Amino acid sequence: MSICGWDHQDPCIIVTIGDVEAVSNGPQYGYGLSALIDGWEGGAPATGGPVEFERGDGAVRGDVHYAPRSLIVEGDIRARDHEDLTEKIAALSALGRYETLTVDEAVHTGLVRQVDVARLRPVQVTTDGPEYALWTMTLQTVDWRRVDVDQQSVVVPAGGAGLQNLGTAPAALTLRLVGPLTNPGISWPGGAWQYSGTVASGQTILVDLERRVVRDPATTAHSRRLASGTWLQLPPGTTTVSRTGSGAGSVTASWRSSWA
């Protein structure tokens, strides 16, 4: 029975990985999704938090770290004939070691999210006759967050712009500094970040605020030593971010709404 119920007329969940698309309430022929994705909901595994003997050390709390998710995706194949079944099994077996997994739940949640994944072992396929098979994928996510398939970008003005993270987890934020700029940066309520230097006309500096990487993609030269301030991750909700520094160039912020 489909997880959407027999009377559900539309696909409830569509999972895409590589060239394979599996549907929980799918067509007569193709890849079916036979169960909820184990590990997709419920949050990422966490470690850390209160340290041991917290009474003795003044209730100090340690950092909380999130680990990658382990995902199990299961489904079936309904083929027109044995040749069709062989081709569909071959497509599963041809998936790369690293892929992007997209989960379309727009019908019942309005969300389409994705994660980059690594396949932990070959796809397991069990045939049952010339036109039917069951398959199982065991995957591990690269990052602990589930992110929107659509990236948002805003050219940040000096007067400020609202950067909206529609999810429940801090979103990774990147900046694109296009010269000419002098001491470019951003500020927001409670914090600021700055590149202390000059970005020449025609030059671009890319900043990954989560990984704390600052580099010129044309030369691959890194210049993190010129950066100072707070390395912002975009919290859930709307954050007003303003451009700082001077120059006729631009500062563009990019991110994907993120969910735990």
Evaluate if residue 223 carries a pLDDT over 50: yes
Domain boundaries, the chain: 14-146, 150-259
Residue 12 DSSP SS3: coil
Residue 218: count other Cβ atoms within 10 Å of its Cβ: 10
Residue 41 DSSP SS3: coil
Q: Model pTM?
A: 0.84
Higher pLDDT, 50 or 195: 195
Element (H, E) at 87: helix 82-93
Q: Decide whether 14-146 matches 150-259 in CATH topology.
A: no
Evaluate if residue 53 carries a pLDDT over 60: no
- Please list, residue by residue across 117-133, b when 16 or more beta carbons sit within 10 angstroms of its beta carbon and e when fewer do: bebeeebeeebeeeeeb
For strands 14-17 and 221-222, give the pairing.
unpaired
Residue 224 DSSP SS3: helix
Q: Which residues pair with 124 in a beta bridge?
A: 136
Quick one: pLDDT at residue 2?
A: 41
> What CATH number has the domain spanning 14-146?
2.40.30.200
CATH class of 150-259: mainly beta
Contact present, 211 and 131 (Cβ < 8 Å): no
Mean pLDDT computed over 234-251: 97
Residue type, 46: A
